[in-house]
Structure 1
Amino acid sequence: MIRSAATSLRQSASGRHFITGLGIGQITSWGTLYYSFPLIGEAMGRDLGWSKAEVFLAATIGLLLAAPAAYPIGVWIDRGHGRTIMAGASVLAAAALLGWSQVSELWLFYALVGVLGVLQAAVLYEPAFAVVARRVGATQARNGITTLTFWGGFASTVFIPVVQILLDHLGWRGTLMALAAINLGIAALYALVIDRERDAAEQDSAREAVARRPSPEAGALPARPLRDAMRRPVFWLLGLAFTAYAATFSAFTFHLYPLLLEKGLTAAEVVTAMMMIGPAQVAGRLFIWRLAAGASVARIGCLVIPAFPLTLAGFELLPVTLAVALALVALYGLANGIMTIVRGMAVPEMLSREGYGALNGALALPGTLAKAMAPGAAALLWQASGSYDAVLGAAILGAAILVVSFWLAAAVCQREGQPG
């Protein structure tokens, strides 16, 4: 009877609060596992006498280890294990954060942050998107993914001040213990709202799409989504676009604070400007939700993506006052918020309605590697050149590659008659 009541409660909560639960999880997972790192790392480095390079090498290790985990995690979610993966990864994240709170040796710090990097691949946007696509079907996933990104957009706005308050009162070790406890709560939430029995492996829309395909020749093997996708230019063009985006986004995000200081803003002005990113991201996603719900993801991407090189060029060419920084950061946040939806919906609308998790994981893998390497590469470029002008030049080039490759992907997709 107890098991029956628990199952009934989970199914009821799963039906009513599925996206809300995942959204709360995204705020928390991004806030505790990603945005908290620079603040905690700075405090820990001062306390233990580690250099900034030693501390931030851990972030690169974590991001690098997340890359090969993306694809198998997507496959496991496609097979119906989303609840186990996301809830289990949150429990493991709590254990890793608790272990981190006790470190005094650099090698152990690297090992634990490496584990957290792998776990990020199991709890952040890509797995959550795959769980949504599995629940409602890939063709109906846009509303759920868009809503999910509304929640995630506020992760930095919520958790950066929360982590700072915890650091001020508990120190970095106590802060990590608190974040570990929060992740245990999120594990329970994921277990409650993700119901494996209701997340069918193949939704009707996907089966209909398969039924409409020409029958394979006699003796041919059944098609697999990833194998089929890799035969199409759109797959490789999207992979190039998303890899360029990941590198540009990562380098710019990690170096925005020192870049604006170098441009002459005070620390308070820089923080004020950076506070615009979260609300601007949500504003962009709200625009898609309300005003562009019927537009194809290819068209949305083609219109919005040029904002990235324009923003970076503005930082390079314009005199950066607080007003200019606010405007450019807002434009960047707006475009980035919309880009999250474009990434989430590109697979079903431009590639295939089957195997969402596997395809999304495959596209995310090189981007995750680029995201891991870009901050360090930008730091080396700054060290070699002595200013952020060279870094901005490289970022503008990366953003230009993003624009051209996505435009080409959209053109090829239109020529092939795909839904995008």
Structure 2
Amino acid sequence: MSEIGKTLTQTRAKSSNDAKPSQAWATWALAIAQLVSWGSVYYSFSLLVVPMEQTVGWSRTATNAALSLGLLVSGFAAYPIGKWIDHGLGRRVMAVGSVVAAAMLVLWATTSSLIVVFVAWVGLGLSMAATFYDPLFAVLTHRYPASYKSKITLVTLVAGFASTVFIPLTQFLVGAAGWRSALVALAAGNLLVCLPIHLFAIRSSRLDPTTHETHQERKVADALASRRALRSPTFWFLAICLTAYYSTFAALTFHLVPLMQERAVSNAVLVTTMALIGPAQVVARAVWFAFDRHVNISTVGFVVVTLFPVSTVILICAGHSAYSLWLFALCYGAANGMMTILRGTIIQELLWTEGYGAISGMLSFPSNIAKGIAPIAAATIWGASHGYPAVEWTVLAVSSLSPLSFWLAVRTSRN
């Protein structure tokens, strides 16, 4: 680590009365903002597709293409947004992101043009890059260098209920007032909940610099750390690990229901299987939160990235068996639940905290691009092979790169 980096780390550690009781409310508030951001933008989408088809006539392919465009934009925006947060602009970035999310949801609600929907999803992609986990993890890492792990875990634990809260809420709003009014209500949530939280709970994404010289040293250290990451094999192994994981997870997530329908799994078993994923995700995060101080993150990380391909093997072998499918759902949900925490903490563990936002953005770029492409790629494989077995085996093959790459990242890390 550079001398500047060592000095900054020591300075942050010494000045890190960052877990003051007066600041505890901020973490809880930011966790609630995450719940609303994810719930209003990401989890609401699937509930709006059919009503839009019925009233406006947009095809399912076209609306899903808009979502994919948003994910791609989010990937491209991750690096510059992370760099801005490294420079101390966390509050501004996340507050503007909430405003953009609200504006784009209203734009979507008031248009009958598919082109405008694509424009709205470009804006929503930018808002996701500015308000979802990655920017907040950067804010917490810089602001609370001594306690960021527990804060990230707490945030993901609370935000894990986003689908639990917003899927039924959005469904109720669509049924009661229509999809356009539902979108306006979701936009209001970003303005009335997320915006004030981001303005008041984030004083800065950094500990306040005491001198101009210190501020300049931090900027230099962050820039050097980002460039150094690109020369580190650990960074590239992490990039492969995360890209392999998120691409296969996205592919399977968007095709899991039709996959089980193709197997003629009963509706009751299908619904129960899907319902188990969310609780498994939350329980896994809760267990990590409870034992956070007693576990080695590298060891847990290897278990997490191995659990997903294991769950895929269970799915391939499950057939119609309800118990096997439920076991798959528990492993699948637990893997994703813990992966979110791992994603927020492994950079600091294997690399360094300087330039975290930019490094995190560089890692997010390929994985977000892959998430946008993976569902379409899976559909192409399904069409070419006339069935989901080829998709399952492809998911297993690609996801198996994650544990191998993670192991290599740990072996080549500075630790």
Distance in 2 between the 1:221 and 1:95 partners?
36
Q: More deviation in 165-174 or 259-268?
A: 259-268
**Amino acid paired to 2:252:** F
Distance in 1 between the 2:206 and 2:385 partners?
52
The residue correspondences of 1:179-328 to structure 2 (distance < 5 A) are 179-185=186-192, 186-196=194-204, 199-200=206-207, 224-328=224-328
Does the Cα contact within 8 Å between 2:221 and 2:354 map onto a contact in 1?
Answer: no
- Aligned residue for 2:392? 392
Secondary structure of 1:199's aligned partner? coil
* Superposition CA RMSD, Å: 2.2
- Confirm or deny that 1:150 pairs with 2:150: no
The residue correspondences of 1:317-356 to structure 2 (distance < 5 A) are 317-356=317-356
Tell me: CA distance 1:222–1:194, structure 2 relative to 1, closer, same or farther (3 Å).
closer
- Aligned residue for 1:215? none
Q: Residue 389 of structure 1: CA displacement?
A: 0.7
Distance in 2 between the 1:78 and 1:271 partners?
43
Does the Cα contact within 8 Å between 2:221 and 2:355 map onto a contact in 1?
Answer: no
Q: Residue 324 of structure 1: CA displacement?
A: 2.1
Q: More deviation in 314-323 or 21-30?
A: 314-323
Among 88, 106, 110, the residue aligned to 1:102: 110
Residues 238-295 of structure 1 deviation map (CA, whole Å, 9 limit, x = unaligned): 0000011110111111111211222222344323221222211121112222235333
Tell me: CA distance 1:343–1:201, structure 2 relative to 1, closer, same or farther (3 Å).
farther
Residues 153-198 of structure 1 deviation map (CA, whole Å, 9 limit, x = unaligned): 11111111111111111111111011011111121122121112x8
Does the Cα contact within 8 Å between 1:66 and 1:121 map onto a contact in 2?
Answer: yes
Among 77, 91, 98, the residue aligned to 1:83: 91
- Aligned residue for 1:370? 370
Distance in 2 between the 1:14 and 1:268 partners?
48
- Aligned residue for 2:12? none
Does the Cα contact within 8 Å between 2:222 and 2:354 map onto a contact in 1?
Answer: no
- Aligned residue for 1:175? 182
- Aligned residue for 2:27? 19
- Aligned residue for 2:64? 56
Q: Residue 323 of structure 1: CA displacement?
A: 2.5
Does the Cα contact within 8 Å between 1:229 and 1:352 map onto a contact in 2?
Answer: no
Distance in 2 between the 1:201 and 1:306 partners?
40
**Amino acid paired to 2:196:** A
Secondary structure of 1:312's aligned partner? helix
Q: More deviation in 184-193 or 170-179?
A: 184-193
- Length-normalised TM-score, structure 1: 0.88
Q: Residue 340 of structure 1: CA displacement?
A: 1.1
Does the Cα contact within 8 Å between 1:134 and 1:202 map onto a contact in 2?
Answer: no
**Amino acid paired to 2:369:** L
Residues 346-366 of structure 1 deviation map (CA, whole Å, 9 limit, x = unaligned): 111001121111111111111
Distance in 2 between the 1:296 and 1:262 partners?
41
Tell me: CA distance 1:13–1:81, structure 2 relative to 1, closer, same or farther (3 Å).
farther
Does the Cα contact within 8 Å between 2:30 and 2:201 map onto a contact in 1?
Answer: yes
Does the Cα contact within 8 Å between 1:244 and 1:402 map onto a contact in 2?
Answer: yes
Residues 69-90 of structure 1 deviation map (CA, whole Å, 9 limit, x = unaligned): 0011111111111111111111
Q: Residue 37 of structure 1: CA displacement?
A: 0.8
Residues 106-138 of structure 1 deviation map (CA, whole Å, 9 limit, x = unaligned): 11111111210111011110011111112111x
- Aligned residue for 1:133? 141
**Amino acid paired to 2:100:** L
- Confirm or deny that 1:29 pairs with 2:1: no
Secondary structure of 1:46's aligned partner? helix
Q: More deviation in 123-132 or 250-259?
A: 250-259
Q: Residue 46 of structure 1: CA displacement?
A: 2.3
Among 50, 58, 67, the residue aligned to 2:75: 67
- Aligned residue for 2:170? 163
Tell me: CA distance 1:130–1:222, structure 2 relative to 1, closer, same or farther (3 Å).
closer
Identity %: 39
Residues 282-338 of structure 1 deviation map (CA, whole Å, 9 limit, x = unaligned): 211122222353333211111232111111111112223333222211111111111
Distance in 1 between the 2:88 and 2:196 partners?
18
Q: Residue 345 of structure 1: CA displacement?
A: 0.7
Residues 219-247 of structure 1 deviation map (CA, whole Å, 9 limit, x = unaligned): x9997111111111101000000011110
Distance in 2 between the 1:381 and 1:105 partners?
31
Number of equivalenced pairs = 389
**Amino acid paired to 1:342:** L
Distance in 2 between the 1:184 and 1:222 partners?
32
Q: More deviation in 221-230 or 31-40?
A: 221-230
